[in-house]
Copies of this chain bind each other. A is one copy, B any other.
């Protein structure tokens, strides 16, 4: 049997065709046109299957990641696509034209599932944190995604962590983790300290988070301080998560995680200062699947559902 993992982004839709052994057979992208999305994705998949002489009967199901809040198959809100309360499960099935197995997820949640399944499928609970323009996340417990009553489960970026800078977050609140630990947060902090700490950073050109991290690696005073503040804020959130979820592992992904071991070491240093003794050994890993985490996650989730079907005879 085959499984499709579909990761819908603001500019493109990533499609992955998997065997039900977690093996990625093929992957490609098509542009995102929100107004006609389901028909275009389904047409594309139908053409692909025709070419490969594969029938719908051989497809176990479809997992779809959405860049917005999802609850029970419905995209509650999805700003990038201009969607509000779109029944993705229903619309996608309608476009397919048959009663298929369709699961819909928030993109960070299903990426969490992908990374966790790929790194160690025996972990019982995992907290995945993406450090990008914002801070996103996903929490896996007992092979399930903590979606939350309103689709807010795993919205790690909006943990209120900061009483020092009290920067306003995109969500309207102040002091969210995202205001400090995201790429944007680091750039804001750098601006805040630009006249207070010595630096080689050139504020006359458009800086990106990588500039700050690269400068921090070279022990630039301002950059080192900002990078450390970001890592400490993240570690504080992680220490709190360790007395809430107490996961087997934290997985750090997103663009900022390209800083690799330099980032991980600094996070770990602060985490060990802030967590309870019992949680000191919790694993902190870098994400490995990167942009493919969503399609792998969708595949892993559907493989689990396949086991359930085989065991219980229903889905």
Contact = CB atoms under 8 A, between A and B. Distances in A.
> Dominant SS at the A interface?
loop
A244 interface: yes
Interface of A: 69, 76, 124-125, 139, 141-142, 144, 146-156, 158-160, 163-164, 171-173, 236, 239-248, 274, 276-279, 281-282, 311-312
A174 to B, nearest CB: 10
Contacts of A243: 152, 155-156, 158-159
Contact of A312 (B160, B239, B274, B312): B312
A158 B276 contact: yes
Contacts of A282: 149-150
B276 A173 contact: yes
A176 B100 CA distance: 48
A279 B152 contact: yes
A166 B164 CA distance: 14
A146 B125 contact: yes
Contacts of A241: 244
Contacts of A163: 163-164
